[in-house]
Amino acid sequence: MELQGRNGRVLAFPTMAFSALTSEQLRIIGESARPLPLALPTIERAGGSTRCTIAGVHLNPRSFPSSE
């Protein structure tokens, strides 16, 4: 799953998938995003993936009144 943050793009995926990639594949991925392997053994065992653990928030930022 590709994510965009303040420090650029990140490609998040399970460590199992990360360990299956060749150095050439990692080089190519690194040209557009920082690879971010995540340890998700329980999620994967149940048939889930990285996408199952990340919620997308597509809202405009809001400001909240100060408590002063």
Coil, helix or strand at residue 25: helix
User: What pLDDT, on the 0 to 100 scale, is given for residue 30?
Assistant: 94
- What phi, psi does 52 have (nearest 5°)? -70, -20
Print pLDDT tens along the chain (68 aa): 888 878 899 999 888 889 999 999 999 999 999 999 988 888 888 887 787 777 776 778 778 777 66
CB atoms within 10 A of CB 48: 13
The one-character DSSP state at 33 is S
